[in-house]
Structures are given as structure tokens and as C-alpha cells.
Chain A
Amino acid sequence: MNVTDDALMEELSNRFAQSRKAFSDLSVVNRKLLEMNERLERSESLKSNFLSNIRNEINNPLNAIMGLSHQLTLVCGDNKEIISLAALIGAEAATLDFQLQNIFMAAELEAGEVNPRCVKFHLSTTLKEVVDTFQHSAAYKNVRLIFTANVGSEDVVVATDSTLFQLIISNLLANAIEFSHPGGVAEVSCAIVGDGGIQVTVRDYGIGIATEDQRRIFDRFVQLETGTTRSHLGHGLGLSVAKALVDLLQGTIGLESAPGTGALFTVHLPPCTASDDESTFAESGNLFLFDDMSEA
């Protein structure tokens, strides 16, 4: 194909003009957004500092309550009433602990201070433990939890941050149980995918989410049903924390759902690649030094 120089130049300058226009439009919009965000950010940062400061002061007594309630069930002999009360205290404290974990994790994520630590762990064992911690609340709602490990061996070892991984799954699971119908089931399954990454699905057969609402559910403090009549527990933080953690681990989270049919969340996490090794330099062999001394 033959193009004259003039035509080419004209096309190029058109494109550049378009780019400039788009950029100036964008910067106007950006500026507006910045102004809008500024006040919000100020209150955000106050909140974040506050939360990271009070973290230990809240966690220590709460851990004591959980520990002591367990002790109580052991030392009170066979007084059924005390045992069941102590178990109730323990369960409620554990629920509170889970909520607080999310609140603190949200604060840390917003402060940019979550540093994933890559460790190797047994996928199915870890996932089973997470599922087991929710057996109590599932039984309370009369929801049956089913866990399937679609991994070749039961002991597949994966590498990512296991604490963050567990919190992601916990939030999806808590969500699945909360929005299941009584008597329903919630299914968790895991698999290793092509790139050596983890794929975990959490499915419920509950109320489901309409397509137009599916983006919003990862926002903070959003529950689709609002107001004093809302029938579901939670503060709408869990899924936004799960999403931000998946982002941090460079994975993806997908959702398939329709009203009345339940929801299927699919989390994919790549094997972690973060490293301090300098090997990437060797490949490029192309080093630049940005040194203050020469420019001062």
C-alpha cells in the first residue's frame, strides 16, 4: 500500500491533535476529581492512623476473651449451662474478631502497608481449615458447607501469602453463608491452573446479584439492600477487602450471578513472583544510575 508523505504527516498530526485534546479533557476531569477527593482523603487518613494505633489495644483483650471462654468450658466440669454460655461467648468473640480483622486489613491496605509474604503451604489443608472455622455459623443458618479439592494430590503446595489468602476466602465464604437460603448449600472448591496459580471458587444458591449491581458489591460499605429494613448482617467491607487483597496479590476475582440463582465467585491467584534478586538486571544489561551527587 502506498501512502504519500503528506497524507501520512496529516494523519499523524491529526492523531497528535486528538491525543492533546483528549489529554486536556482528561486533566480537567482529573482536577475536579482531585478536588472532590481531597476532603475525603483527609478524613480517610485520620481514620487510618487511628485504626493502626488502636489495633493492639483492641486485639489483646479480644484474644483474652476468646482464650478465657475456651478455658471456661474446660474448667467448669459438666455444668451444661456454663459450657453453652462459654461456647456462645467464644463464638461471638470469634465473629467480632473476624469483623475487626477486616476493618484493620482495610486500614492497612489503604495505608499501603500490607506486604505479602510469599510462603509455601498446602492448598487443600489450608482451605479446609478456613471452611471449618465457618461450620459453626453455617450450622446456625442451617447452611451446609461442601468442600471439594480438585487437585491431583491432596497435598499440593502453593506459594502465595497464606494469611491474606485465608482472609480472601473467609470473606467470600461469610458472604456465601449470609446470602444463602436456610437449608441451602454453599460449595468451595480449589484447583491448580495452568500457570501454577490457585483457583478457588465459592458458590452459593442464595438470593443472587443482578448484573447492574455486580460492580458495586466490591465497593466499601455497600450492601445492596440498605436502610433499616435490611435483613443481612455485615458492614459491606468484606468483599472490598477481598477484592483489594486479590489486586495486591496480582490475581483476579470474577463473579457470575443472576437474581434468584445464587452467586459464583472465582478467585485466581498467580504463583508469587516477588523477589529481590537482581537477575532482571542481567537480562537487560542496561543500567542507569540516578545519583543526586552529580546533579546537586
Chain B
Amino acid sequence: MTIENSINKHFLYPGTIFAEPAEYLISTVLGSCVAVCLWDKVVHVGGMNHIMLPLWNGEGLATPKYGNIAMEKLLAKVISIGARRESLTAKVFGGANVSGTGLEVFMIGERNTTLALEMLEEFRIPILAKDVGGRVGRKIIMNSATGVVMVGKGKKTD
């Protein structure tokens, strides 16, 4: 896998958001976390979030580590860099059940995924691709100018 060095790169930390007008390779590593890639198929800009937990419960800061905050903020951010809501498309990755337990309370991955998909439906943004669930972590790299996302699987992480 060779990736051109001339393109800007950004490593997305859990709980953060990235969207810039320039072309970027945005990479992140996902276990039970979910990343949503929003991309405007007309304007060719996009961004990514990294959801760690489904809902902000009012404790601590309202950071985008929580899905409901992260989805709203990513949408606002891609629109602020020129994307148009009606031409946005989405790709959803992550949400693995890496701990391997079946206990509901611990199924963070599945709950993160459900929340992301529900909010995309609410935003009426079509989901072009998704690779969610399973038992292993993923590493993803999104090209913010082409909307192409590459996914590497098999590495167990949190």
C-alpha cells in the first residue's frame, strides 16, 4: 500500500472531529468506537468523527466523544467548510465487540453503531458503505477529497 506523501495527513484522536477544505488523509483506529465519514459528492469535501460512547449524559464536558454530540458537530463542521446537506453521503465503520462478552451493558460497539445509523437517518444522509460490528478492530483511512475510505481489519484495539 503506497500512499502519496504529498497529501496532508491527520491522525484523528478518539473523541475529536476533523474536517478541512484541503485534501487530507484522515486516519483513525477503531475498536468499539465508531467513525462516521461524511463526504459531499458534489463539492468533494468531507470529514470524520470518532465516537467512543453513544450519548452524553450531562456529565463532564459535552465533547464529541459522545455520539449524539459528535454527529451534530461533524455535520455542522462539514457544512461550515462548504459541503451541502443535500449532497452529503456517509460511510460508517467500527463498533466491534472486542471484549467478546455478550452482556448488554457492555455492547458499546453495537450501541455506538445504532446511534450513528439512527442519526444519519434522521439527517436524511444516505449511507453508501458500512463495515461495522464483528470481533476485531479496524484502522481506516479516508481521503477527504475523493471520499474513498480504506479499511484494514484484524488488529485488536480498544
Please list the residues of chain A having a beta carbon within 8 angstroms of any beta carbon in chain B: 15, 18-19, 22-23, 26-27, 30, 33-34, 37, 40-41, 44-45, 106, 109-116, 215, 218-220, 240-241, 243-244, 247-248, 250, 274-276, 278, 280-281, 283-292, 295-296
B27 at the interface (CB under 8 A from A): yes
B16 interface neighbour in A112, A281, A290, A291, Cβ under 8 Å: A112
User: A115 near B139 (CB under 8 angstroms)?
Assistant: no
27 CB contacts below 8 A, A to B, read A15-B102, A19-B104, A30-B54, A33-B57, A34-B68, A44-B62, A110-B64, A111-B17, A112-B15, A112-B49, A112-B70, A115-B16, A215-B59, A218-B60, A219-B58, A243-B61, A244-B63, A247-B65, A250-B14, A280-B29, A285-B154, A286-B152, A287-B150, A287-B152, A288-B151, A289-B151, A292-B89
Q: B76-109: contact bitstring with A at CB < 8 Å (1 yes, 0 no)? A: 1000000000000101000000000010100000
User: For residue B63, which residues in chain A have a CB less than 8 angstroms away from its CB?
Assistant: 109-110, 112, 244, 247
User: For residue B73, which residues in chain A have a CB less than 8 angstroms away from its CB?
Assistant: 45, 111-112
Kindly state the separation between the CA atoms of A112 and B66 in the bound complex, as whole angstroms: 10
With A45-B72, A276-B11 given, is the CB distance from A37 to B152 under 8 Å? Answer: no
Chain A residue at smallest Cβ distance from B136: A284
User: A220 near B61 (CB under 8 angstroms)?
Assistant: yes
Chain A residue at smallest Cβ distance from B130: A290
Kindly state the separation between the CA atoms of A26 and B118 in the bound complex, as whole angstroms: 13
B124 at the interface (CB under 8 A from A): no
Kindly state the separation between the CA atoms of A241 and B29 in the bound complex, as whole angstroms: 24
User: For residue A276, which residues in chain B have a CB less than 8 angstroms away from its CB?
Assistant: 9, 11, 25, 27
User: For residue B147, which residues in chain A have a CB less than 8 angstroms away from its CB?
Assistant: 292
B59 interface neighbour in A33, A218, A283, A295, Cβ under 8 Å: A218
Secondary structure at the B interface, as helix, strand, loop or mixed, is mixed
User: A292 near B155 (CB under 8 angstroms)?
Assistant: no
Kindly state the separation between the CA atoms of A219 and B43 in the bound complex, as whole angstroms: 40
B135 at the interface (CB under 8 A from A): no
User: A219 near B104 (CB under 8 angstroms)?
Assistant: no
User: For residue A291, which residues in chain B have a CB less than 8 angstroms away from its CB?
Assistant: 148
User: B131 near A290 (CB under 8 angstroms)?
Assistant: yes
User: For residue B57, which residues in chain A have a CB less than 8 angstroms away from its CB?
Assistant: 33
User: A292 near B146 (CB under 8 angstroms)?
Assistant: yes
With A41-B72, A45-B72, A281-B1 given, is the CB distance from A110 to B16 under 8 Å? Answer: no
User: For residue B58, which residues in chain A have a CB less than 8 angstroms away from its CB?
Assistant: 219
User: For residue B115, which residues in chain A have a CB less than 8 angstroms away from its CB?
Assistant: 30
User: For residue B70, which residues in chain A have a CB less than 8 angstroms away from its CB?
Assistant: 112
Q: Which of B113-158 contact A (CB under 8 A)?
A: 114-115, 118, 128-129, 131, 139, 146-155
Kindly state the separation between the CA atoms of A219 and B61 in the bound complex, as whole angstroms: 7
User: For residue B69, which residues in chain A have a CB less than 8 angstroms away from its CB?
Assistant: 37, 41, 110
User: B148 near A289 (CB under 8 angstroms)?
Assistant: yes
Kindly state the separation between the CA atoms of A252 and B14 in the bound complex, as whole angstroms: 14
Kindly state the separation between the CA atoms of A290 and B127 in the bound complex, as whole angstroms: 12
User: B55 near A30 (CB under 8 angstroms)?
Assistant: yes
**Considering the complex of A and B, which 9 residue pairs feature the smallest CB-CB distances, nearest first?**
A284-B154, A112-B17, A112-B64, A290-B149, A290-B129, A281-B152, A112-B16, A22-B104, A244-B61
Chain A residue at smallest Cβ distance from B110: A23
User: B152 near A240 (CB under 8 angstroms)?
Assistant: no
Chain A residue at smallest Cβ distance from B141: A278
Which of A109, A112, A280, A283 counts the most B-chain CB atoms under 10 A from its CB? A112
User: B155 near A284 (CB under 8 angstroms)?
Assistant: yes
User: Given A22-B104, A250-B14, A280-B139, 19 other A-B contacts at CB below 8 A?
Assistant: A19-B104, A26-B111, A27-B114, A37-B55, A112-B63, A218-B60, A240-B60, A240-B61, A243-B61, A244-B63, A276-B27, A281-B1, A283-B155, A284-B154, A287-B1, A289-B151, A290-B150, A292-B41, A295-B129
User: B61 near A241 (CB under 8 angstroms)?
Assistant: yes
The smallest beta-carbon distance between B100 and chain A, in angstroms, is 15
User: For residue A244, which residues in chain B have a CB less than 8 angstroms away from its CB?
Assistant: 60-61, 63
